[in-house]
Amino acid sequence: MVVSDPTLIDLPMPIRTPRLLIRPRKPGDGEFALAAITETWVELHRWMWWAESLDQFTSEQLEMRNRHAMANFLQRDVIELLGIEVATGEPVIWCGLHNIDWGARRCDTGFWVRRSAQGRNVATESTNAMVRYAFGALGMRQVGLTHSEGNEASRRIAEKLGFKHVGVERAANPLPGGLMADRFCYLRFGAEGLPPLDVHWGHGVG
């Protein structure tokens, strides 16, 4: 898959799993993000560099971020997606692909799950789907996953999905409050050996 401009790369959407519809951002998704961030603030403020102060988040500000995510998707710079629980219609996971190198065909994946959906393997299912999508639909050769030291939930997902631990970058992950954490790095070089999952993509944005 060789193209002269990443904007010409086809990104078949949505991605469907037994429980999730994972789709690109749409206008109005900022409102969903505000509710989920408020609900999940304790966890986000511990691990996400951008979660410095809850007061900084407003509906308008998050919708602006959402529109930037939509533009990045069109440019193929960052693929930011929203996972909807099919049974309830509730947005439950924010996920995607970032640090994309279309020339080398490598990228990283990441996620955060709203508190009310935690403990139900939503992140495992979504990340399994994202890895399969990266290798299957996008022709990636390498997919990375990282987490800060102490983030045991993310470590368990990396191990459950068969990522290879390739090293630790000291004081490489910024955290709220000006703190820095060691970054634990994992890689996968194909979809072989992933836990079984029924995944489909394409046929409309859902």
Average pLDDT, the chain: 95
Sheet bearing 106-113, strands edge to edge: 164-175, 179-188, 142-148, 106-113, 90-101, 79-85, 20-24, 15-16, 200-201
For the chain, what is the domain count? Answer: 1
* 23, part of any domain: yes
204 — pLDDT class (breaks 50, 70, 90): low
Cα–Cα distance, 80 to 71 (Å, whole number): 10
Average pLDDT over residues 61-84: 97
Give the model confidence (pLDDT) of 153-190 as tens digits.
999 999 999 999 999 999 999 999 999 999 999 999 99
Q: Evaluate whether residue 152 is within a structural domain.
A: no
Within-domain flag for 60 = yes
Q: With beta carbons less than 8 A apart as the criterion, state whether 142 and 198 touch.
A: no
Name the pLDDT band for 2 (thresholds 50, 70, 90). Answer: low
Cα–Cα distance for residue pair 6/139, rounded to 1 Å: 13
pLDDT tens for residues 73-98?
A: 999 999 999 999 999 999 999 999 99
Count the neighbouring beta carbons within 10 Å of the beta carbon of residue 173. 19
Per-residue pLDDT at 205: 46
- Is residue 115 pLDDT above 70, yes or no? yes
Mean pLDDT of 132-139: 97
- pTM of structure: 0.94
Residue 153 counted as domain residue: no
Residue 115 lies in domain: 13-141
The pLDDT of residue 203 = 77
Would you state the pLDDT for residue 5?
Answer: 87
pLDDT exceeding 70 applies to what percent of the chain?
97
- Cα 51 to Cα 43, 44, 55, 94, distances in angstroms: 9, 6, 10, 14
Residue 50 resides in a domain: yes
Provide the 3-class DSSP secondary structure of residue 62: helix
H-run or E-run covering 109: strand 106-113
Does 164 reside within a domain?
A: no
Q: Is residue 163 part of a domain?
A: no
Residue 150 domain-assigned? no
Share of the chain above pLDDT 90, in %: 95
Which pLDDT belongs to residue 4? 72
- Does residue 1 surpass a pLDDT of 80? no
pLDDT, position 158: 98
Q: Is the CB of residue 9 less than 8 Å from the CB of residue 102?
A: yes
CATH number at residue 133: 3.40.630.30
